[in-house]
A and B are shown apart, each in its own frame.
Chain A
Amino acid sequence: MKALDARREDVAAGRVERVRERANWMRRRSLQMIYEAGQGHPGGDLSATDVLAALYFGVMRFDPAAPAASDRDRFIMSKGHCTGALYTALAGAGFFPEAELSTYLQPNSRLNGHPNRTYLPGVETNTGPLGHGLPVAVGVAIAAQVDGADYRTFVLTGDGELQEGSMWEAAMLAGHRKLGGLTAIIDRNRLQQGARTEDTNALEPLADKWRAFGWEVVEVNGHDHAALLSVLDAPATPRQQPRCVIANTIKGYGISFMHDQARWHHGVPNAEQYAQAQAELADGKDLA
């Protein structure tokens, strides 16, 4: 419990404020990337931003100068299309220069529409097709279990992505092997590309499904930085249950006209919308 107390002190010492500031910067910067590139997935970026900000600026242990260090905590972006959120987190964390964000989606940029580990430091595996990140994360967590290592593996999945069968193959194995070093975070914004998840192929009762597969389930407001920090920053617990964090989020969170709108799954604001979006983010109001 000493460790937990220390983390609480850390929170008191301003960790929440740092995550809040970084999340606001990520939103502003990723919207700029999408606006300048004329392409992107703003809805999912904005729903995932606070989770990534909590992980990269408050939870995970890593050294951007040694991105392959064997004892690093791993993050895998299973919903690989949300690169606006991922790239701003990686750049903000120091894996590559922030200025490079301006190359997003340009010819030969390292900032692909979907992340590529072979040329971008900090990316653990190439994702894009859905249903891939969780199996890879399970493999990483098994490696840690076999080695008795205490690094942690985090994976962020979309909620619609849970319609892919490979996710449940992986969930079943993680529960069976009691991969206590693994945390799967579900970006539960209830919208998939074209419609509501519950109208497409319903996921509920979602927490019960994960529990039935042998996972500990925690539900959290996915935009509440203090809550995310306290839920996500748990030590690896070898050979106990893996953890599923259902982060209840809002697609397009932070931009009034994008809130909970499937049409902003991919979409690019026009000049007027872009100015409004940046103004909404700049007025500094507490989004949570």
Chain B
Amino acid sequence: MNAHAPSSPGLFDCRDAYSRTLEALAAADPRIVAVVNDSVGSSKLGKFRDRFPERLINVGIAEQNMVGVGAGLANGGKIPFVSGAACFLTARALEQIKADVAYSAANVKLCGISSGVAYGELGATHHSIEDLAWLRPMRGLTVIVPSDPWETAEAVKAAAASDQPTFIRISRMPVPELEHRTPFQIGKAEIMREGQDVAIIATGTLVHRALAAAELLAAEGVSARVINMATIAPLDEAAIIAAAADCGAIVTAEEHVVRGGLGGAVAEVVTQNQPVAMRILGFDGFQPTGSAEWLMERAGLTAKGVAAAARDLVAQKTR
């Protein structure tokens, strides 16, 4: 039993969905390869390595080279899934992601493992809560933040089927399987709950918390729309504008700093199209040591915290 197994029944580690899906894809398509930085275990690619030893390329602890090698493999006709801890993959190799992958339009799939504050106790060097801010502006780079195992699997399949450079943020923080009513589509927001008083736009590990917040709000007579914004780039602007027009207030929630991530992306659309009051929930900067759950609690990234922000906005709207 590893330390990161589900903390309670019904909760899942999205890395399992990632590795399972990648293996299935690789069995059907010889072009699929995995590239890792000594991260076979942390990417849960042990079985992939055993089944496809030639197609697991371990570059050692060298993230810049890992991303460049990924671009070269794409040039050679492969579909590389480049997997490493999100903090190192995105920060250390940022220029390679920009020049070799996004700007070169190389068919590389970057998988940022254990994103956000999943490595809670290890501290801010190992947290990846700035990655959306530095990847989101790169034109042509698709950025996906799945909310649960099903969506992780769908995102991996969609990325493999697309020829676009793609970043997928894969959490190890235990999350429940959510009820999805619409098929996953890159660039398309999912309305998970209808509502008119306030819209909660969440991504990744915050989606299930947003749904729980909507339950709390409903008990008080506040009707909250919950939008799962799994794709951060390209952004579903129409869904945001509609939410602003219909609800008149928007709360965003993400496992990321409050500058430049989902909240910033939504604000760019709202302020220029349908200005409404907003609250951006996330981390305020480098985080101290502590468990991931404790850090989320501390930042108000909980059902209660999201509900409180929504409640404030609704009160402000009706004043």
Residues on A lying within 8 angstroms of B by beta carbon are 70, 74, 116-118, 124-129, 131-132, 134-144, 146-147, 149, 165-166, 169-170, 172-173, 176
Contact = CB atoms under 8 A, between A and B. Distances in A.
B33 A146 contact: yes
B55 A146 contact: yes
Contact of A142 (B60, B64, B69): B69
B57 A170 contact: no
B62 interface: yes
Interface range for B: 20 to 34
A274 to B, nearest CB: 32
B interface majority secondary structure: helix
Interface of B: 33, 54-55, 57, 59-60, 62, 64-65, 67-78, 80, 95-96, 99-100, 103-106
B62 A126 contact: no
A139 B100 CA distance: 11
Contact of B105 (A118, A129, A135, A142): A118
A72 to B, nearest CB: 10
Nearest to B70: A139
A132 B78 CA distance: 19
Given A118-B105, A138-B69, A126 B59 contact: no
A128 B99 contact: yes
Contacts of B33: 146
Contacts of B59: 169, 173
Nearest to B33: A146
Contacts of B104: 117-118, 125-126
B65 A125 contact: no
A135 B105 CA distance: 16
Contacts of B75: 74, 124-125, 136, 139-140, 143
B69 A173 contact: yes
A165 B64 contact: yes
B68 A135 contact: yes
A129 B80 CA distance: 23
Given A118-B104, A129-B99, A135-B96, A143 B73 contact: yes
Contact of A136 (B72, B77, B95, B103): B72
Given A132-B96, A169-B62, A138 B54 contact: no
30 contacts: A74-B75, A117-B105, A118-B105, A126-B99, A127-B99, A128-B99, A131-B64, A132-B95, A132-B99, A135-B64, A135-B67, A135-B68, A135-B69, A135-B100, A136-B75, A136-B100, A138-B68, A138-B69, A139-B72, A139-B75, A139-B76, A140-B76, A143-B78, A144-B76, A166-B62, A166-B96, A169-B59, A172-B60, A173-B69, A176-B60
A interface majority secondary structure: helix
Given A139-B72, A143-B76, A147-B76, 6 more contacts: A116-B103, A125-B71, A131-B64, A132-B96, A143-B73, A166-B62
A142 B68 CA distance: 12
A243 B315 CA distance: 70
A135 B80 CA distance: 14
B32 to A, nearest CB: 11
Given A146-B33, A169-B65, A173-B62, A137 B100 contact: no
Contacts of B78: 143, 146
Contact of A126 (B64, B77, B100): B100
Given A129-B95, A172-B60, A141 B68 contact: no
B76 A136 contact: no
B62 A139 contact: no
Given A74-B75, A118-B105, A139 B68 contact: yes
Most buried by B among A70, A117, A126, A137: A126
A128 B99 CA distance: 8
A173 B35 CA distance: 13
Contacts of A144: 76
A76 to B, nearest CB: 8
A144 B69 CA distance: 12
Contact of B68 (A70, A132, A143, A149): A132
A52 B33 CA distance: 32
Nearest to B35: A139
Nearest to A141: B72
A135 to B, nearest CB: 3
Contacts of B65: 135, 138, 166, 169-170, 173
Contacts of A127: 99
B64 A136 contact: no
A126 B103 contact: yes
Most buried by A among B60, B62, B73, B76: B76
Contact of A125 (B55, B60, B106): B106
Most buried by A among B65, B95, B104: B65
Contacts of B105: 117-118
